[in-house]
Amino acid sequence: MAMPFDKCYARHLGSCDGKSREHFISKAILETLAPFGVQGFPWLKPGKAGTASPSSLASAILCKHHNNFLSDFDAEAAKLFEHLRLIDSKQTPKELSSLPSITIDGVLFEKWLLKVLCGAMASGNFQVDGKFFGKLAPSEYMVDMLFRNNSWPKGAGLFIDFEQRQRMDAFRGLGYDPVFVKTTATNAMICGIDIRLWGFPFRGLFVTYEDGAIRPGYRPPKLEVVNGSIRKEIHFEWPHGTPQDTWSILTRDGTIPDSS
Ligand SMILES: [Zn+2]
């Protein structure tokens, strides 16, 4: 019989076991980052960049059982992350041409975005308008999306946020901000997360619009990195039936300029 564990944010799913002190952004990813920057982390002022400090991101927000359940999502994000970092290290077209193309499982990557959001909420590690909100339990709706194998409603999932592209292009490393909608003058509902990985703006939205519309930028089939005559593609695989008509290809030219 599993022991109840009252600090696990997935406890309504049952089967909680012993305590886990985990990183909501996995240690493997944070270690990949060094010596590059992070933004949106709790020890940083809004809009400022700093360095990753893995131990300060560990908090007891899941039990071991539920934490282990999420490791595939971390692995897929780490794969993309490492590849973007590798691309960034190739200064010339010739160097870039030596890299293989990769394919990312889009659903695993979307679940990683949701995992980071749930972890940031449960551990109180996010800011809205420059203020920390304290610890918030992710909704059962979001936790179900993260842990259950049901396919998500169309319109929920990964977006590329073109509007923020320019701001993000200069940033090497990893940054995140919650996406929220104001419900009243004093209340806001958190509905997603913006994550910047190596200059690419990824947005996870975990709610759908009432009109059922799918906004532009949903579930990209690929990203492209261009340097001179060389183009390198990062493909995303999506479940059958994913709409493909809202997308134009996101391209990044050359390596990212140093922001310092
Ligand atoms: Zn649990």
68-123 confidence digits (pLDDT tens): 999 999 999 999 988 888 887 888 888 888 998 899 999 999 999 999 999 988 88
Distance in Å, CA 58 to ligand 1 centroid: 16
Distance in Å, CA 230 to ligand 1 centroid: 47
Q: What share of the chain is helix, strand, coil (3-state, %, to 5)?
A: 30, 25, 45
Distance in Å, CA 239 to ligand 1 centroid: 28
Distance in Å, CA 20 to ligand 1 centroid: 9
Residue 158: closest CA among 221, 88, 84: 221
Distance in Å, CA 8 to ligand 1 centroid: 5
What is the per-residue pLDDT for 156? 94
What is the per-residue pLDDT for 1? 39
- Return the top range by mean pLDDT from 29-33, 98-102, 195-199: 98-102
Rounded to 5 degrees, φ, ψ at 15 are 65, 25
Lookup: tokens for 51: 């360095």
* Cα–Cα distance, 137 to 16 (Å, whole number): 16
Secondary structure element (H or E) that encloses residue 224, with its range: strand 222-227
| β partners of residue 204 | 158, 193
* Cα–Cα distance, 197 to 176 (Å, whole number): 9
Distance in Å, CA 5 to ligand 1 centroid: 7
Are 111 and 146 within 8 A, CB to CB? yes
What pTM value is reported for the model? 0.86
Strand-pair category, 188-197 with 173-182: antiparallel
* Range list of H helices, the chain: 27-33, 64-68, 71-89, 93-97, 106-122, 140-147, 165-169
What is the per-residue pLDDT for 74? 92
Distance in Å, CA 198 to ligand 1 centroid: 32
Mean pLDDT on 7-31: 84
Across the chain, what does the average pLDDT equal?
80
Distance in Å, CA 62 to ligand 1 centroid: 5
Residue 69: closest CA among 115, 123, 116: 115
* Cα–Cα distance, 89 to 76 (Å, whole number): 20
The string of pLDDT tens digits covering residues 44-69 is 776 677 776 656 666 789 999 999 99
Residue 233 pLDDT grade (very low, low, confident, very high; cuts 50, 70, 90)? confident
Rounded to 5 degrees, φ, ψ at 119 are -70, -40
* Cα–Cα distance, 52 to 193 (Å, whole number): 19
Any idea what the Cα angle at residue 149 is, between residues 24 and 203, rounded to 5°? 50
